C-alpha cells in the first residue's frame, strides 16, 4: 500500500498535532529580516539613479578636451559640394587645395570616445528652440559647420531678410520648418560696446574704443529669447584699443608707439558678457563659451607675408614652441578663469554655463586653415588666412562637443 508525503507527515505527527500556521510565522519573520534591508537599499539606489538624470561613470570621468588627432578613414559628414552654406573663403577644396589628408583625422580623447555628431538627435533637442552664435567670424565658421551637419535632415532656409539685409554677412538667420528651429549669427567681435575709427568696422589695424562695462547691444538687445547662446571671439583684441569704464579712459593697447598687448580689456569684455547673461530676467537657456581658436602664421604676421603651409598636424614638441603659442595660452587662461567665476555665479541663479574647450585640440592643427586657398581666383593673394578653418574640416569637432555638452547639461 503506497502512502504519499502528505499522508506520511500526518501519520508521523498524528499524536502531536502542530498548527499549520506555526511554520509560516517564523518563515515570514525571516523573510522580513533578510529582505527588508535589501528592498530599502534597492529603493535608495533607484532614487539616486533617477536623480542623476542620465549621468554615467563615463561622463563623469571623461575629459573630452584632452586627447589627440587620430586617423579616421571613414566617410565625412558632408563634402564641400554637398553643403551650400560654406563661404567661398572657407571652401578650400573648391579653391584648389590639392591635399586631402587634413580631412582624415578625428579628435580622440585619451580616456573615452567623443560621440559622432547625430543630426537627428541634435534636432530633436532643439525642436521648437533657437540658437545664437555671438562673436566674430570664428563663431560664424562654427555656425556654417553646424548648418552643413544638419542640412541633410533639417534643410535650413535663409530668413535673414525678415530681420535685416539679405546681403548682411554679419547678422544672419536660418530656419528649419520641420523642426521649428532657428539659428542665427550675431556679429560682435568684442562682445562689449565699441566705436571703430574705420567707418566700415572691418580694418584690422584701425584704432577702436572699447567700453568694457557695457555689453554690445548688437547682441544683448536680441538674446533674451534664445534658448542657446554660444560666445566665440578673440582675434580682434590684438588691434590698437582704448579702454573705457564709466565713460573714462582706464587703459590702452598698442598705443603711444608701443606694441605691447594689454589683456585687461580681453578679461573685462568676457566678464561683462557673462554678467549680462546672468542678469537677463527672461533668459532660461544655456550659455556656452568656445575657447580661443589659435591662428598659425609662420615666417611673419598676417600682414607681413605669414603663411600656414603645413599639411600635417603639429607633434607635441612642435605644439610647445610654435609662434605666438604664449599669446594663445595667455588668452586661453583668461577665458577659463572668467568662465569658472561666471559659471559659479550662474549656478546660484539656477542657470547653466557650458565650456567648449577647443584651444588645445586646434592648436595642433596648422594644416587645416584656408591658407592661400581662400576663395576662387584668390590663390595668389599676399595675405594668407591662417585664422579661420577649412570646411569640411576639424571645426566639425566643435559641434560634436557642443552636442555632447547639450546632452550633459
Grid coordinates in use for 211? 567700453
Q: Which residues neighbour 78 within 8 Å (Cβ) at sequence distance 6 or greater? A: 148, 149, 151, 152, 392
Task: Please name which of 228, 205, 240, 336 lies closest in space to residue 277, comparing C-alpha atoms.
Answer: 228
Q: Which residues neighbour 382 within 8 Å (Cβ) at sequence distance 6 or greater? A: 305
CA distances in angstroms from 408 to 52, 142, 150, 278, 344, listed in the order given? 11, 20, 20, 20, 17
Q: Is 21 exposed, middle or buried (0-12, 13-18, 19+ CB in 10 A)?
A: exposed
Q: Is 248 exposed, middle or buried (0-12, 13-18, 19+ CB in 10 A)?
A: exposed
The strand order across the sheet containing 192-196 reads: 192-196, 208-215, 241-245, 248-253
> Quick one: which H or E segment has residue 392?
none
Q: Where in the sequence numbering do the catalytic residues fall?
A: 137, 385, 388
Q: What is the DSSP string of 128-187?
A: T-EEEEEESHHHHHHHHHHHHHHHHHH--EE-GGGTS-TT-SSEEEEEETTTTEEEEEEE
Residue whose cell numbers read 539679405:
166
Amino acid at each position: 500500500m503506497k502512502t504519499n508525503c502528505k499522508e506520511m507527515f500526518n501519520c508521523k505527527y498524528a499524536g502531536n498535532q502542530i498548527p499549520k500556521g506555526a511554520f509560516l510565522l517564523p518563515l515570514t519573520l525571516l523573510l522580513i529580516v533578510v529582505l527588508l534591508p535589501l528592498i530599502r537599499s534597492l529603493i535608495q539606489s533607484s532614487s539616486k539613479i533617477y536623480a542623476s538624470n542620465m549621468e554615467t561613470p563615463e561622463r563623469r570621468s571623461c575629459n573630452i578636451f584632452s586627447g589627440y588627432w587620430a586617423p579616421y578613414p571613414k566617410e565625412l559628414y558632408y563634402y564641400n559640394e554637398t553643403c551650400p552654406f560654406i563661404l567661398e573663403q572657407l571652401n578650400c577644396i573648391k579653391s584648389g587645395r590639392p591635399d586631402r589628408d587634413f580631412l582624415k583625422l578625428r579628435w580622440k580623447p585619451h580616456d573615452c570616445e567623443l560621440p559622432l555628431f547625430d543630426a537627428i538627435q541634435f534636432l530633436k533637442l532643439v525642436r521648437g528652440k533657437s540658437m545664437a552664435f555671438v562673436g566674430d567670424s570664428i563663431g560664424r565658421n562654427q555656425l556654417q559647420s553646424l548648418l552643413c551637419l544638419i542640412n541633410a535632415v533639417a534643410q535650413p532656409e535663409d530668413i535673414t531678410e525678415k530681420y535685416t539685409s539679405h546681403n548682411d554677412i554679419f547678422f544672419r538667420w536660418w530656419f528649419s520648418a520641420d523642426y521649428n528651429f532657428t539659428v542665427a549669427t550675431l556679429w560682435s567681435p568684442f562682445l562689449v560696446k565699441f566705436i571703430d575709427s574705420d567707418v566700415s568696422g572691418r580694418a584690422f589695424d584701425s584704432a577702436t574704443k572699447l567700453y568694457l562695462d557695457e555689453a554690445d547691444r548688437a547682441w544683448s538687445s536680441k538674446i533674451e529669447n534664445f534658448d542657446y547662446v554660444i560666445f566665440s571671439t578673440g582675434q580682434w583684441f590684438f588691434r590698437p584699443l582704448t579702454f573705457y569704464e564709466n565713460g573714462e579712459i582706464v587703459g590702452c593697447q598698442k598705443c603711444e608707439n608701443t606694441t605691447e598687448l594689454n589683456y585687461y580689456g580681453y578679461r573685462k569684455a568676457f566678464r561683462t558678457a557673462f554678467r549680462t547673461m546672468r542678469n537677463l530676467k527672461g533668459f532660461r537657456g544655456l550659455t556656452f563659451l568656445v575657447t580661443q581658436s589659435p591662428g598659425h602664421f609662420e615666417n611673419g604676421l598676417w600682414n607681413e607675408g605669414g603663411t600656414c603651409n603645413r599639411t600635417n598636424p603639429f607633434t607635441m614638441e612642435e605644439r610647445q614652441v610654435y609662434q605666438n603659442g604664449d599669446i594663445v595660452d595667455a588668452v586661453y587662461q583668461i577665458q577659463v578663469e572668467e568662465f569658472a567665476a561666471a559659471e559659479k555665479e550662474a549656478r546660484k541663479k539656477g542657470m547653466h554655463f557650458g565650456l567648449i574647450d577647443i584651444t588645445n585640440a586646434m592648436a595642433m592643427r596648422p594644416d587645416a586653415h584656408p591658407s592661400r586657398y581662400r576663395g576662387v581666383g584668390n590663390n595668389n593673394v599676399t595675405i594668407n588666412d591662417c585664422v579661420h578653418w577649412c570646411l569640411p574640416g576639424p571645426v566639425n569637432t566643435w559641434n560634436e562637443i557642443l552636442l555632447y555638452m547639450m546632452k550633459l547639461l
